[in-house]
Structure 1
């Protein structure tokens, strides 16, 4: 697939991200202002600033996305359930949660399915999009396929490569593997280490439908320049 999108279409595939531990209110204000200006699909934040960002994006089409169990995934299903519900109550339009990687690697797919079903059910009930973060850098190809097979059964909106906090981020190979595994019924989000237009194109060509990055403005400016637009 060749990337042939308008600037607006490309921007609408981007989740504009601020997940740093030391992020402050002025940073979230800037994030939301840029999301409005450039037409990004979502601001991707931790769950605490959801209410603030929701108020900043009032009367805009930009979604607010909350990261759950972030970035390690090492909280219980009960804890992730509470965090998901609270984020939605505070205005989250999308939920990106990290699977319990240890349970998967310990050979407990039933736990992964229960966790996914629980969170996806909450999201569907509240008409909120759900994304399942695999953190692919820690998994074998077989384990990635195993999570994707569970996702096909459960039905989240997206499977997502990475948090951006792991040992490595998205790769085109992982996006292709995940897209092949989930088919057309579930979309793939690539995140982690996407910092330029060349990588964006690589991820889209591999099958990604959404891109998580903090270099969003830089990438859109690159794309405008490539198209000869001011």
Structure 2
């Protein structure tokens, strides 16, 4: 197992969230991109406004690292039109993976059609441009029953509208890593939730995001069946260390 092939090295803090100066923040973003290139991680996951920089660095280095970005991050409440427009810009700037945040609040409120339409049209846009599409369901905001239901909704929408040879290009992803929980409960991937996702999203793939901070935890997720791991601790994972990162 080459664990690097599973790692989406992730840095998604805005300048304001980083608490850094603009120059230091830019240095941090650049260093994450360079680290992904140097260590040949599967992908670098960054904010949309950083995609063009990543593309330039990866092309210059003649690297095979791919570029992912987030859409409607982290709340997922943008309109369908706004999500599609943001995704199109990311595609134009060179993104390979589009990680959309589902409107999980609409789902919780019972507005299933809003979620169905964004999954349908967002997936369609991505696949038309030969991109990988991931749907972040934000498991920390959902009950176990809701995790199962939203996985089934996404799966049914994709299976009903796309060819079976395209299924491997669509993922259900656990978390943004930015959801604020009560009592310090986990806001990222947990083993029980990942098992539920794997059981109910198949034949779509599953990405475990947030909370995977060591090689052992990453291997455990891969053995369960996840195809990708989103983590800001990619270097620690491949080095056999344990990170204290909160994502």
State the TM-score, normalizing by the size of structure 1. Answer: 0.89
CA distance, structure 2, for counterparts of residue 165 and residue 28 of structure 1: 18
Question: In structure 2, what is the equivalent of residue 130 of structure 1?
Answer: 133
SS at match of 1:180: helix
Q: Tell me the C-alpha RMSD between the 2 structures.
A: 1.3
Contact 1:136 1:161 (8 Å CA) reproduced: yes
SS at match of 1:193: coil
Give 1:28 shift. 2.2
1:112-147 alpha-carbon deviations (Å, 9 max, x no partner) = 110111110000100000000000011112211222
The answer on 1:180 being equivalent to 2:213 is no
CA distance, structure 1, for counterparts of residue 82 and residue 51 of structure 2: 17
The answer on 1:44 being equivalent to 2:45 is yes
Aligned positions of 1:44-63 closer than 5 A? 44-58=45-59, 59-63=62-66
CA distance, structure 1, for counterparts of residue 240 and residue 188 of structure 2: 21
Contact 1:120 1:154 (8 Å CA) reproduced: no
Unaligned runs of 5+ in 2: 19-24, 159-168, 182-186, 242-247
Q: Choose the corresponding residue for 1:21, options 14, 17, 33.
A: 14
The answer on 1:110 being equivalent to 2:113 is yes
Q: Choose the corresponding residue for 2:4, options 11, 36, 57.
A: 11
Aligned positions of 1:73-92 closer than 5 A? 73-92=76-95
State the TM-score, normalizing by the size of structure 2. Answer: 0.83
Paired residues, number:
215
Give 1:74 shift. 1.6
SS at match of 1:169: coil
Unaligned runs of 5+ in 1: 224-230
SS at match of 1:44: strand
CA distance, structure 1, for counterparts of residue 3 and residue 157 of structure 2: 29
CA distance, structure 2, for counterparts of residue 31 and residue 126 of structure 1: 26
